[in-house]
Amino acid sequence: MNGGQKMSLSGTALKYFLLCATLIVFAGPLVWMLSTMMKTKMETYKIPPSLFPEQLTFEAFDRLFTVQPLMWKWIQNSFTISIFVALGAVISSSIVAYGFSRFATKYRDKLFPIVLLTLMIPPSIMMIPSYVLFAKLHWIDTWLPLIVPAWLGGAYYIFLFRQFFLTIPQELDEATYLDGGNRWTVYAKVIMPLSKPIIVTTIIFAFVNSWLDFLGPFLYIKNNEMFTLSVGLQLLIGQTSQDFPALAAGAFISIIPIGLLYFFAQRYIVEGVVLTGSKG
């Protein structure tokens, strides 16, 4: 075996070692959570701990919903809010992006950088002004502070839509105008049907951000029955702090929708993000 082959084998071995180490770092917590939720409560206190349960059991889920009967309500609340947020993000951001990509005005190139600059504003700076505004609107203890902002457009989603719309030939717009269509016809029947990858990508990003949001619901919602799952799980920690299988079961429930979304729509995510960078 010559020196070149040895170097090639060493490089391959190092590559697989790094891949395995990365897999352990990222998949390790998930595997441990899945193992914990299928253990008995006493088994989680054993030293040294075991990776695999001695006896598979799903009693943790029964205890979870027994200790906290509002779990189903919190799951339903999270789905409702996240769906409305995702829908609002797609509609509002795509309309704004359509204007930036198709309307030739003297203000377009000046306004778009301003929109992007809003991405640099830390959310913590807007926390107190937003709370004061929503309090004056009497929106506290409602879902409106969580849903309405999504219907006003988001800078990141506007950027994604605008970059994707630029990849669509404007000859299609001109053909629609010749057939008697107007700007709304172009948007609804030409641009949006061709933008499925970026629409799916935006839906996933907006849904996941809303589903995982803890600070917003924690600030604006006071009624336990209106909590989202993220806030409810934090409340659950105080009620079952020693029941690790129940806590793992709650965490598992919270990641199921996210995992399913990424699993079934990963092709659209890759395609959408790649195409947004194909034209400036």
What is the pLDDT confidence band of residue 147, given thresholds at 50, 70 and 90?
very high
- Domain boundary residue, one of 60, 81, 102: 60
Within this chain, do residues 139 and 264 fall inside the same structural domain, yes or no? yes
Q: 275 pLDDT exceeds 70?
A: no
Give the residue among 81, 78, 40, 45 at the shortest CA–CA distance from 62: 40
Separation in Å, CA 1 to CA 6, 9, 12, 17: 7, 11, 16, 22
Within this chain, do residues 129 and 254 fall inside the same structural domain, yes or no? yes
Within this chain, do residues 30 and 99 fall inside the same structural domain, yes or no? no
Within this chain, do residues 46 and 181 fall inside the same structural domain, yes or no? no
The parent domain of residue 82 ranges over 62-276
- Domain boundary residue, one of 45, 60, 75: 60
Within this chain, do residues 108 and 243 fall inside the same structural domain, yes or no? yes
Within this chain, do residues 16 and 70 fall inside the same structural domain, yes or no? no
Q: How many structural domains comprise the chain?
A: 2
CATH number assigned to the domain comprising residue 270 = 1.10.3720.10
pLDDT (average), residues 148-152: 93
Per-residue pLDDT tens over the stretch 87-97: 999 999 999 99
Report the Cα–Cα distance between both ends of the chain, in Å, rounded.
50
Q: Are 184 and 151 in contact (CB under 8 A)?
A: no
Within this chain, do residues 272 and 136 fall inside the same structural domain, yes or no? yes
What are the residues whose beta carbons fall under 8 Å from the beta carbon of 47, sequence distance 6 or more?
A: none
Per-residue pLDDT tens over the stretch 13-42: 788 888 888 878 888 788 888 888 888 878
208, two tokens: 């996941």
pLDDT (average), residues 147-169: 91
Per-residue pLDDT at 98: 93
Within this chain, do residues 94 and 133 fall inside the same structural domain, yes or no? yes
Pairs from 171-179 (Cβ < 8 Å, separation ≥ 24): 173/102
Within this chain, do residues 126 and 17 fall inside the same structural domain, yes or no? no
- Domain boundary residue, one of 40, 60, 80: 60
Within this chain, do residues 44 and 93 fall inside the same structural domain, yes or no? no
Averaged pLDDT of the chain: 85
Separation in Å, CA 122 to CA 42, 148, 212: 44, 19, 18
Per-residue pLDDT at 279: 53
What is the pLDDT confidence band of residue 157, given thresholds at 50, 70 and 90?
very high
Within this chain, do residues 55 and 74 fall inside the same structural domain, yes or no? no
Per-residue pLDDT at 273: 62
Within this chain, do residues 185 and 124 fall inside the same structural domain, yes or no? yes
